[in-house]
Amino acid sequence: MPGLFVSIDGTTQEYASDPRHQSSRWEPPCGAPESVEMLCLIIFCLDLAVKSYLIGWEEFRKSKWLISYTVVICISVVDWMLSVSMECDEKLRVRRLVRPFFLLQNSSLMKKTLKCIKRTLPEIASVILLLALHLCLFTMIGMLLFAKNADQKKNGEWELHFKNLTTSLTSLLVLLTTANNPDVMIPAYSLNRCYAIFFIIFSIIGTYCLMNLLTAIIYNQFRGYLLMSVQTSIIRRRLGIRAAFHVLSCHNAQTEAQELVRVDAVLQVMSRVNMKRFYKSAITVASQQFAEQGYMDRQQFRKIFDELDKDCIKEHPPLPQYTSATLQKLQVVFSHYYLTVLGNLVALANVLCICTILVLNSEKSTEERDNYILEVINLCFILFYLSEMSVKIFAFGWRGYLSYRSNIFDGFLTVVLLILQIAIFITYRLPYSQEPSSRGVMSLWEMVRLVNMLIVFRFLRIIPDIKLMALVASTLLDLVKNLRAFAGILVVVYYVFAVFGIWLFEGAIKPPPQMSVFSLDNTTSNFSTVCGTYEQLGYWPNNFDDFAAAIILLYDVMIVNNWQAFMEAYSRYTSEWSKVYFVCWWLTSSVMWVNLFVALILENFIYKWDRSHSCSVTDVEKIRYETSVQFMFK
């Protein structure tokens, strides 16, 4: 498989973003992407026409989203026509920038999330203004402290970080993210240790106070919006239930004065409604409790719809019944919780064995390693895993065994490991007579490495058996399930900034002609660079030459580790105004979006912690549905 991605000369040129290694990229023929675009635009036009017809002209004029939908489609069609008329030779395609709107417009969750962010912006702006004031104040103080001296030996701080206003602002802005600490203060600190007080005070106020205050404000506003969303959802449901009660009671003239609804009418409606089977059966059962009376009042009618707030708690099938007393005793033993504890201890021992052998073989090449020792050890453990799975199936039965998610995870990996072991012994028989690397599609080391990865991954089975770890894991699972709206907006933001970055900086950074092409050992000749710069750090693959490379570069800047190297390089190769682009991306991603993500994690975890502080592991699983952010946005 790795060979599929390697070219003849041993480098991955087709998939490399490094301009020193790239070959000519494949470009689709003109007309092929445009045909797909036109098909999508026709679908969007039909969608807009149907929505406009259904809601009417009056409601259409009130909908800002539908009006914007129309404008974006028109812009896309005009730009598409220009692209076709110019035979796909234009450099600037506006429709690329507006494409994310189609994703936002068709997702109600994203619209509500944007509304949440919009409500948070005024408070964020006040803190960012205070942060800017703090930055400007310390910039002026720094330029006064580290002014140019007649003695050239004392100008290190001025030369590197406070030479002019732009350099001073950039240095302290990067220090705010701790990306250049302690490098920014070393020249001054080497002359006088008292200079460190300036940088320490700046970091305490800016990094530890104002930045954390920003996180607190975002969390507070975000939490308030979630609570308001829950209240709005409850109000809408109650209005809908009351309207349904009114409609059903109007069709019963005899009971209209008493405001009652016939039970058979409710059951008839429930038989036709499109709803999840669990909720439909629960509401039907709750309605049948009033079958003897034949009617329900408003309070009773509202109460039966409380079943919508509940979720299906999966019940495990009963244990199989054995007639033999011996089998019954074995069933009790094998269904005991201590068997799971023993399995976890064995899995831990297996991971420790792998870790020990990897440490002992860390200095050896793959050809020098004795992989058969590790293979035999793994075989013994895998046989235990297989026997553990077999006895659990005996104790719980097939349906009972598969009713536990941990057993599905454990059993699937055990079967995969068993298949790999069989494949290894078919390919490499013991004792072996020829070099293992000369047999099969994969070498013995590659197969053993795959087995080891799966064994280490299987060790995650311990998570459900530790209460706090199960709570954290369930919170993470909730985030994965309910982050669709946030992830969608993050994708939109990444896409927009990547397109802008390609427009502004595509091909801006090119390797110097005197630089030799890197070989696999990353050696160069005839080229020297300043320490800590983009060139010296070898950041050539991080560029805006294509969309994938732009996404990776934006991610690296979002992490804010050495992001000053990118900002400094593009300001040298283009202009000082390029720093505005990187600062805007830092504010959007690292300041705004990361804090929103932290707020979401805090909201989920704190609520779950409060609810499960005195619960068992199974109780944690039962209340998982109560913290779904997706349900909050209904």
> Considering the entire predicted model, what is its pTM?
0.72
Q: Is the pLDDT of residue 610 over 80?
A: no
Which residue did the predictor score with more confidence, 224 or 290? 290
| Domain spans of the chain, in order of start | 113-223, 226-307, 325-465, 476-514+528-621
* pLDDT tens-digit map of 427-460: 776 555 444 444 555 666 677 778 888 888 888 8
Q: What is the pLDDT of residue 515?
A: 59
Q: Is the pLDDT of residue 205 over 90?
A: yes
In this structure, are residues 226 and 632 in contact, taking their beta carbons and an 8 Å threshold? yes
Q: Is the dihedral of CA 46, 47, 48, 54 positive or negative?
A: positive
In this structure, are residues 75 and 95 in contact, taking their beta carbons and an 8 Å threshold? yes
Helical packing angle, 578-585 and 547-559, nearest 10°: 70
Strand 295-296 relative to strand 261-262, pairing: antiparallel
Q: What is the pLDDT of residue 628?
A: 45
* pLDDT tens-digit map of 339-374: 888 888 988 898 888 888 888 877 777 777 777 777
DSSP state of 206: I
Mean pLDDT of the region 392-403: 88
Identical fold between 113-223 and 325-465 = no
Instruction: Give the fold, CATH level 3, of 113-223.
Output: Helix Hairpins (1.10.287)
The H or E element that residue 606 is part of is helix 594-612
Q: What is the pLDDT of residue 319?
A: 85
Q: Measured at the alpha carbon of residue 570, what is the angle toward residues 569 and 576, in degrees to the nearest 5?
A: 110
Of 480, 489, 491, 485, the residue nearest 604 (C-alpha) = 480
Q: What is the pLDDT of residue 23?
A: 63
In this structure, are residues 401 and 320 in contact, taking their beta carbons and an 8 Å threshold? no
Tokens (6 digits) for 522? 């990353």
CA 210 centroid distance within chain:
26
Residue in the structure block whose two tokens are 């004031």: 133
Q: How far apart are the first and last CA of the chain?
A: 45
Distance, in Å, from the CA atom of 47 to the CA atom of 553, rounded to the nearest integer, reads 36
Instruction: Give the fold, CATH level 3, of 476-514+528-621.
Output: Helix Hairpins (1.10.287)
Distance, in Å, from the CA atom of 412 to the CA atom of 409, rounded to the nearest integer, reads 5
Instruction: Give the fold, CATH level 3, of 325-465.
Output: Four Helix Bundle (Hemerythrin (Met), subunit A) (1.20.120)
